[in-house]
Amino acid sequence: MIYFDNAATSFPKPLSVYREVEHCIKNYCGNPGRGSHSLSRRSAEKVYETREKIADFFGSPSPENVFFTYNDTYALNMVIKGLVNEGDHVIISDMEHNSVYRPIAALAENGIISYDIFDTMCLSHLRTPERICANIRRLIRRETKMLIATHVSNICSAALPLREIGELCRAHGMIFVVDAAQSAGHLPINMAEMKIDALCAPGHKGLYGLQGSGFALLRDGLLPFPIIEGGSGVNSLMPEMPEVSPERYEAGTLSVPCIASLCEGVEFVKSRGIDAIHEHESALYRRLSDMLYSLPEIKLYAHNHVGSTLLFNIDGIPCEKAADLLDRRGICVRSGFHCSPLGHKTLGTIESGAVRVSFSPFNTMRELEFFYSALKSIICEK
């Protein structure tokens, strides 16, 4: 089996991740923050170690500003809904996943906020950070509270210039929220240097944790209102959630095995080196892009952006059928709209959907050769 659906969730995970999860479940999986006994303490220490690793990895000095969620969508919802107030205006990009688009659209539908969408110029050869920022600047109003941007699209490899957008947000007093679903573990991110106020990411994609892991990392002093309340292990006699992060945002029992897996996943990325990972995935991308470009029946989208994700269609074969034919040949890809209607509209694939290939450091050039042969046989049989 060849797995090219790493943008959905990475597979396989590093061996160290499997080992740590087993070790955790067998040896120290107590309930962190819920007792003073040794098992609870060991769990809590592992959770804290993971906070430290994540904060350090993303350029934050404050491990306590990392709060864990079940996935990126939960993190984004908690940050967005915990920070906006009635009458606020929000700006989002035209490449946002539904994890941003839907909460924003729902808040607008309920009359709480208004929003605008900026043009990321993904298909334009005139695309520069300055021009993207100019597109944002045109949308800023006095009541604009927040800008939310995906770092890298989930349907192509287009990346947004976070540093420049961060500067712009800081200059206009806007909260800068970044969805790092497709970039965490693939590209360097430094919250302080990029002036990011809140970074949300899944644990189970480029950071190689288990599904069920995700987090948000807040800048010092940013305290969203908690939208989920419950047991937190501290101030238990009070009706309200604690005032401080992370316990303010972690109602209910944390998944220690998931968090432990994330701890090892981050360590894997650090030890392999994020530049080396990016270079490996980009080399795969370039090779596959060249292969597919040689086939006249293949239409590639936004392939001027090099990274880990490539989008295409086969002339005369619906994307779902193409993915099914690849699956029959032992290749896992994802077809359809990828929970990204804004992105597909931007790339011109909103009517058809498309086939997405996404890499991890475990993919090889040899797998690409197999994929290419499979694709050619599908085209021949059409």
Partner 1 sequence: MDCIASFASQTYAIKAQKALSNAAILSRVIKLDGEKSKRGCAYGVEIPCSLLESAKKTLERSGIRVRRYYRGDTEI
Query: Under the rule (CB under 8 A), what is the footprint of partner 1?
Result: 32-33, 35-36, 41, 44-45, 48, 51, 63-64, 233-238, 242-244, 246-247
| 171 CB-contact burial (10 Å; exposed 0-12 / middle 13-18 / buried 19+) | exposed
- What type of residue sits at position 302? A
- Work out how close the CB of 31 gets to partner 1 at its nearest, in angstroms, rounded to a whole number: 11
Question: Which residue do the tokens 């839907």 mark?
Answer: 102
Please report, for residues 3, 100, 183, the alpha-carbon distance to residue 76 in angstroms, rounded to integers and kept in the order given. 27, 7, 15
CA distance 358 to 10: 9
- In the complex, the smallest distance separating the C-beta of residue 237 from partner 1, rounded to whole angstroms, is 3
The sheet carrying 334-336 orders its strands as 298-301, 309-314, 354-358, 334-336
CB-wise, 68 or 268, nearer to partner 1?
A: 68
Nearer to partner 1, 247 or 281 (CB): 247
Q: Which is nearer to partner 1, 111 or 239 (CB)?
A: 239
Closest distance to partner 1 from the beta carbon of 63 (Å)? 7
96: nearest Cα among 181, 172, 173, 166: 181
Between 171 and 234, CB nearer to partner 1: 234
Closest contact distance (angstroms) between CB of 264 and partner 1 is 19
Q: How many CB atoms lie within 10 A of CB 273?
A: 12
Closer CB to partner 1, residue 52 or residue 367? 52
DSSP count for the chain of H helices, then E strands: 12, 13
Q: How far is the CB of 51 from partner 1 (least distance, A)?
A: 7
Give the whole-angstrom CA distance, residue 327 versus residue 331. Answer: 5
Q: Nearer Cβ to partner 1, position 63 or 265?
A: 63
175-179 and 144-150 beta bridge pairing: parallel
C-beta of 224: minimal distance to partner 1 in Å? 16
